[in-house]
Amino acid sequence: MTTLEQTVLDARPDTTASGVSWGSIFAGATAAAALSLILLILGVGLGFPALSPWSHQGISATALGISSILWLSFAQIAASGVGGYLAGRLRVRWASVHSDEVYFRDTAHGLLAWAIASLVTAVLLGTVAGNLLAIGASANATAISTGAELAGVHAPVGHPNPPSKGVDERKHNGDSDLSYWVDSLFRSVQSPTDMLEKDYGLVWREASRIFANGLRLNGLPPEDQKYLGQVVAKQTGLSGADAEKRVFNVFAKVQAELAKTEQSLKQTADDARKLAAYSSLWMVVALLSGAFVASLAATFGGKQRDSETYVDRGL
């Protein structure tokens, strides 16, 4: 090639103009982002009817996870395909550019359209995702609190001063504060007539604090167990040995329920951790699949763009 031919070639519009058609890229990205958002919302709408708060109803967690992954992959591939095709089909025509360069540019157009659409979708879903995380954290905290209350192991901090006269101690501390377990200590085998309500309130509070301290120490101190046995014996009419045995058995049940609840919460947290890890990995796979489909669709749209023959009807 001579110097003159090289100069003429370098001066042609196809070689001096930019190889990126940003208009077609943004058009494809807009379509991809909109379609992706619509499909994600549709997936959420279709998924809610499959959920049920009742036992043995609705689909299982495993089926829900697999369905979510499949739908996410479908939404990403479909939206990326449409966006990539539009980015390739709407670009300018490179008449004198080599076919290999055209193929590379179309691939780049599809990839750029996918990247912009992904960023836009992430921004649009950012607020929604943040709200869902906040709701999930609140639900998790509520579940933990409810689980502890159902187990009867919510240890009260107690108040340094006794309640006012006539105030029910269980209402003062809350019915969930070891009420079931402490009440079981004072289930009398006879009907004592000299036990005043205010005395029961004071005893109930003291026993609650002793149990809470025993749970914190992971064991009831011998002096506390002996003292509670004496109090239970006085209030219920049991013998000293039977009263101490009741204290020991009730406290053991509290510890067992606490261990069971903690194990259940740990298992739930571990399952959530695994689900988050698997979901992240599959989301990466879905996004990479969308990038590939967008690039491929852009080359297909570019080929159709270059194969079109326009005829001037005015001639």
Residue 294 clears pLDDT 90, i.e. is over it: yes
Of 96-100, 119-123, 195-199, minimum mean pLDDT range: 195-199
Number of helical (H) and strand (E) elements in the chain, helices listed first: 10, 0
Range with top average pLDDT, 11-15, 103-107, 170-174: 103-107
Query: Quick check: 52 pLDDT over 50?
Result: yes
Q: Give the span between the Cα atoms of 72 and 75, in whole angstroms.
A: 5
Is 60 exceeded by the pLDDT of residue 303?
yes
Return the top range by mean pLDDT from 9-18, 131-140, 200-209.
Answer: 200-209
Q: What is the pLDDT of residue 131?
A: 60
Q: Is residue 97 predicted with pLDDT exceeding 80?
A: yes
Q: Say which residues have a Cβ less than 8 Å from residue 148's Cβ, sequence separation at least 6.
A: 154, 258, 261
pLDDT of 126 over the 60 cut: yes
Report the chain's C-alpha Rg in angstroms: 36
Is the Cβ–Cβ distance between 155 and 216 less than 8 Å?
yes
Lowest mean pLDDT among 67-76, 114-123, 193-202, 206-215: 193-202
Select the more confidently predicted residue: 141 or 185.
185
- Cα–Cα nearest to 296, from 83, 118, 29, 96: 83
Write out pLDDT tens, residues 160-214.
344 444 444 444 444 445 666 676 676 555 544 454 444 667 778 878 888 888 8
- The predicted-structure confidence for 233-288, as pLDDT tens digits, reads as follows 888 888 888 989 999 999 999 889 888 988 988 888 888 788 778 878 888 899 99
Give Cα 162 to chain centroid, integer Å.
43
Q: Among residues 279, 292, 299, which one has the least CA distance to residue 77?
A: 292
Q: Which two tokens stand for residue 79?
A: 């939206």
pLDDT band at 109 (very low <50, low <70, confident <90, very high): very high
Residue found by looking up tokens 């990466």 in the block = 284
Whole-number average pLDDT of the chain:
75
For the chain, what percent of residues have pLDDT higher than 90? Answer: 23
- Please work out, in degrees rounded to the nearest 5, the angle formed at the alpha carbon of residue 86 by the alpha carbons of 84 and 88: 70
Q: Which residues make Cβ contacts (< 8 Å) with residue 129, sequence separation at least 6? A: none
Nearest CA among 9, 16, 75 for reference residue 46:
75
Q: Which of 48-62, 96-110, 155-169 has the lowest mean pLDDT?
A: 155-169
**147 vs 118: which has the higher pLDDT:** 118
CA-based nearest residue to 73, from 85, 84, 81, 61: 81
In order of 23, 155, 186, 195, 210, the CA distances from 198 in angstroms are 81, 22, 14, 9, 19
In this predicted structure, the answer to whether residue 28 has a pLDDT above a threshold of 90 is yes
**What are the structural domain ranges in the chain?**
173-261
